[in-house]
Amino acid sequence: MGKKLIYYFSQSKCDGNAEMKNLLGSKGANLAEMCNIGIPVPSGFTLCTQVCKMYYNNDKLPDNLCGEIKNFMAILEEDAGCKFGDPNHPLLVSVRSGSIDSMPGMLDTILNVGLNDETVIGLAKKSNERFAYDSYCRFITMYSNVVLQLNHYLFQDILDSARCKNNVESLVDLDVSTLKQIINDFKNIVYENTGKHFPQNINEQLLSSITAVFSSWKNERAVSYRRIHNISEDLGTAVNIQTMVFGNLNNNSATGVIFTRNPSTGEKKCFGEFLLNAQGEDIVSGFYTPLPINNNTMGKLMPEVYEELYIICKKLEEYYKEMQDIEFTVQDGKLWILQTRSGKRTPEANIRIVVDMVNEKMITKNNGILKVDPNTLNSLLHPIFDIQCDKQVIGVGLPASPGIASGYVVFNTYNAEKAVKQGKQVILVRSETSPEDINGMNIASGIMTARGGMTSHAAVVTRGMGKPCICSVNGLHIDKNEGFFVLGEVKINKDDPITINGNTGEVILGILPTILPELSQEFETIMQWVDEIKTIKVLANADTPKDVEIAKKFGAEGIGLCRTEHMFFAHDRINLIQKLIIADSQDERVNALEELEKMQKSDFKEIFSMMVDKEITVRLLDPPLHEFLPNNKQSIKKVANLLGRSIEDIRSKVEQLSEQNPMLGHRGCRIAISYPEIYRMQIRAILSTVYDLRNEKNIVVKPEIMIPFVISEKELILICEMAREEARNFNNVQYSIGTMIELPRAALIADKLAKHAEFFSFGTNDLTQTTMGLSRDDSVSFLDTYKQAGIFENDPFVVLDVEGVGELMKIAVTKGRKSCPELKIGICGEHGADPKSIGFFINLGLQYVSCSAYRVPIAKLVAAHIALNQGHSKFSELTTN
Ligand code: PEP
Ligand code: MG
């Protein structure tokens, strides 16, 4: 006997369970599990993901599958008490996709399979005529679109004109004779466009539907969705064939979606929507605006269903220990559950849900930590819009996905892509979104639609992406040619700036200013748990007192890199360093250095006092000197005036310092070898600050002085000697001295460097640049080509190249620790906070990672995941490019 390819599920016989997601897909596994625990689910069977793989490998369904499907249909018929194709009492089925990872709306589904000119009469007798022909209309539309690949609008246009002619709002209000006419028109469309009649053979309908749903795994939008969400192409989808239950049977029927907690805020309160007398796709399409599920709506209209639905929500959430997103249908007062899955939610909501569930003792702290994906924290940590400022609100809609976004108006994916390529942020404005818009939605900063409810496609997808969305904006009319939209009295053109507030539903004119976000109490709680678990220190790269303030706010355990040159870049300071660089005489140089020393000292004083008892690594001047000089005619003139020098003087200095490859030239510690007085001044500023703080304020700090761009032991010896000499002037000050490892030669001679350094800090930005021979100042322009060719998996300046740069790091750690076992080693390059790279650093035995302040919580969370998973995390796979 061959492998089992089909799994049955019903209250009385069930082959699967929740653990079988890889085989049955998420929907199939959960349908089986719900049957196992007594939830009312219409019976059905699942063609497993293996069938999808076979379908793609052989370009056809397996030979024996048809016979197998027939056998399972016979069991289903027995369960349902009616027969597929029976002209008097027909069984209808749904054919739904069901991938392993949820891909909302991306794959296809066909409802009401089994209807033809004969069975529709049987269905009408069994129930009512309007319902039967309504279902037939829906079936022809879906089948023609999904299986026959005819454009949905061909059918929509007929429906729209029927609605107009009969002056009614929706399909439900059309009478039977109009529906019959529409069905004729639909069939004509099919004939005109395919040269064939709409298939009346129900077995052909079923098989073609199954094949089409498997094929939808490779449709364009599904492929894009998988690329965006990093889902493997090889997984394939399962297909579920299930007895139809009808939400469009009568006014005691409905269809709906409910989340067991609020997916926008995380509040512990069910949150959902339903539509009376409708089928599932009516809600998701966004075409109709559904009713919220609450005491006053469903509670009054269908009190028993309402009560049962809440009991089921509670049962499923407790069972899965996870917030659930549940699809249901009510058929003539009887509740059926069609799907349950873990609910997509905003990052804020997720954090609140996790903390609440731990407090409710539903999950443990460790499980809670693992339920927060570090990649989702970004949106919580970056500057937010200042909504308190003066603003002009021009419209309001449903706050479908929270957050605030500003950008320039675009009306389609094509224009969104064009604008984003030019470096603009965009707001995508649509009547409603459909899965075709997935690429545009992915690159837009926010989405606004004229139609659709809180569970429409736009709402569900944007919440999953963590970006703001407003649906059903009152009075929003989009120009047919997509040149502008009108909202109330205001006309907004394409490319005009607007802001949308997904927390309140407000549409605001123009771009709002930004401020730092307030972190929620729940966020702080999770970070406390994370601190208890993780095994590596997470420090911040911060250069000014303001940066240090932000780093503290985000929980940095110290400063791993203070780039002193950034202290010079402020507009009121740059002239001091310019004065130093163009000084002709010793006197002028000494004078400029004295002023710089004062300025650095005052910054160090502030920074050191803010980080008492914490590590502080101060890196001495690194960039080439020409970076501080003006680079065009106008600014040369300005600087000449300011410093009282001739334009010629400044220009000739600029020329003299210019280099073809400044990143590989006279920079880093080489400047100190040529002009020792600069590093001496910086060392003095550091040590005298330590001295003053101890003597004046009784504050004891021990900064780490870090030397950049070292390539030789001798460089380090000379600079260490300078430090020792300066330290003699400050009785008993404490400091340590170390080097960056950011050039291949430094990594290779790490044993020699370790004899003079108390610590190493990997500068993986420069180490990547110099190991790979790729410029860090240009984007990797051929990245896409390299990814497609399978040469690079990631941008090496984002995800560490473990195979090459990582190997050099290994050599440096081994050699460094061999010569100096107590050597402290960390990393301060941008890779320090990359979720995919952190696992490598931890396993390499580094003591800290240091990254920009905004990324500290992300790095901490990844480190906690790795600690909980013994060195592994799904966010930290090693890569090979
Ligand atoms: C590095 O090279 O990784 C580093 C941290 O130094 P910078 O980015 O300042 O060159
Ligand atoms: Mg560097």
Tens-place pLDDT, residues 666-686:
899 999 998 899 999 999 999
Q: Say how many Å lie between the CA of residue 763 and the centre of ligand 1.
A: 5
Which residues neighbour 141 within 8 Å (Cβ) at sequence distance 6 or greater? 152, 155, 186
Kindly report, residue by residue over 40-85, the tens digit of the pLDDT.
999 999 999 999 999 999 999 998 999 999 999 999 999 999 999 9
Mean per-residue pLDDT for 642-653? 84
Contact present, 154 and 145 (Cβ < 8 Å): no
pLDDT for position 838: 94
Q: Which of 14, 48, 52, 457 is catalytic?
A: 457
pLDDT value for 474:
87
CA-derived radius of gyration, the chain: 33
Q: Which CATH number fits domain 383-515: 3.40.30.10, 3.40.50.740, 3.50.30.10, 3.40.50.300?
A: 3.50.30.10
Distance CA 270, CA 415 (A): 38
pLDDT given at position 284: 66
CA of 614 to the centre of ligand 2 (A): 23
| Ligand in nearest proximity to the CA of 764 | 1
Residues 6+ positions from 673 with CB-CB distance below 8 Å:
715, 718
Average pLDDT over residues 247-259: 94
Q: Can you tell me which atom of ligand 1 is nearest the CA of 742?
A: 2
Compute the average pLDDT of residues 745-766: 97
Select which of 828, 831, 851, 865 is catalytic.
Answer: 828
Looking at the CA of 768, name the nearest ligand: 1
Taking the CA of residue 762 as reference, the ligand 1 atom at the shortest distance is 3
> Residues 6 or more apart from 558 whose CB is under 8 A from it?
537, 539, 540, 611, 614, 615, 616, 617, 848
Ligand 1: centre distance to CA 624 (Å): 13
Specify the higher pLDDT residue, 668 or 776. Answer: 668
From the alpha carbon of 763, which atom of ligand 1 is closest?
Answer: 3
The verdict on whether residue 742 carries a ligand-binding annotation is yes
Domain spanning 254-342, CATH class: alpha beta
**What are 480's two structure tokens?**
């047919």
CB atoms within 10 A of CB 788: 9
CB-defined site of ligand 1, < 6 Å: 561, 563, 622, 742, 763-766, 828-829
Give yes or no for residue 466 having a pLDDT over 90: no
Per-chain mean pLDDT for the chain: 91
Q: What percent of the chain has pLDDT over 90?
A: 68
Task: State the pairing for strand pair 497-501/404-410.
Answer: antiparallel
828 included as an active-site residue: yes
User: Which protein residue's CA is at the shortest distance from atom 6 of ligand 1?
Assistant: 763
497-520: burial string, b at 16+ Cβ within 10 Å, e else: bbbbbbbbbbbbbeebeeeebebe
The segment with the largest mean pLDDT, out of 453-467, 800-814, 867-881, is 800-814
What is the CATH number assigned to the segment(s) 6-243? 3.30.1490.20
Share of the chain above pLDDT 70, in %: 97
Query: What number of other Cβ atoms are within 10 A of residue 82's Cβ?
Result: 17
Confidence class for position 880, pLDDT limits 50, 70, 90: very low
Whether residue 296 is predicted with pLDDT greater than 90 in this model: the reply is yes
**Closest C-alpha to ligand 1, atom 8:** 765
Q: What angle do CA 432, 438, 439 make, to 5 degrees?
A: 125
- Does residue 561 carry a pLDDT above 60? yes
CA distance 714 to 720: 10
To the query of whether residue 457 is one of the catalytic residues in this protein, the response is yes
Q: Compute how many other C-beta atoms are within 10 angstroms of the C-beta atom of residue 758.
A: 17
Q: Do the annotations mark residue 563 as ligand-binding?
A: yes
Instruction: Enumerate the domain spans of the chain.
Output: 6-243, 254-342, 383-515
Q: What is the pLDDT of residues 139-188, one digit of tens each?
A: 999 999 999 999 888 998 898 889 889 888 777 788 999 999 999 999 99
Assess contact for 592 and 576: CB atoms under 8 A: yes
Residue 375 confidence (pLDDT): 84
Beta strand pairing call for 497-501 and 324-331? unpaired
Place 469 in a pLDDT band, splitting at 50, 70 and 90. Answer: very high
Provide the whole-model pTM: 0.79
| DSSP-derived 3-state class of residue 793 | coil
Look at residue 633 in the predicted model and tell me its pLDDT: 82
Return the C-alpha torsion angle 853, 854, 856, 858, nearest 10. -170
Partners of residue 384 on adjacent β-strands: 515
What CA–CA distance (Å, rounded) separates 147 from 674? 74
Say which residue the tokens 């090889």 belong to.
234
Q: Is 134 annotated as a binding residue?
A: no
Average pLDDT over residues 823-846: 94
Q: State which of 313-327, 572-586, 667-681 shows the largest mean pLDDT.
A: 313-327
668 is in an annotated binding site: no
- What atom in ligand 1 is closest to the CA of residue 541? 5
The total number of residues shown for the chain amounts to: 881
What is the pLDDT at residue 871? 57
Residue 877 pLDDT class (50, 70, 90 cuts): very low
Give the pLDDT of residue 878.
42
> Which pLDDT does position 1 carry in this prediction?
45
CB count, 10 Å around CB of 545? 16
Measure the N-to-C terminal CA separation of the chain; round to a whole number of Å.
Answer: 44
Q: How far is the CA of 532 from the centre of ligand 1 (A)?
A: 30
Is pLDDT above 60 for 874?
Answer: no
Characterize the bridge pairing of strands 736-741 and 704-707: parallel
764 marked ligand binding residue? yes
Question: Taking residues 577-586, what's their average pLDDT?
Answer: 84
Centre of ligand 2 to C-alpha 700, Å, is 29
Indicate the range of 285-294, 352-361, 394-403 predicted with least confidence: 285-294
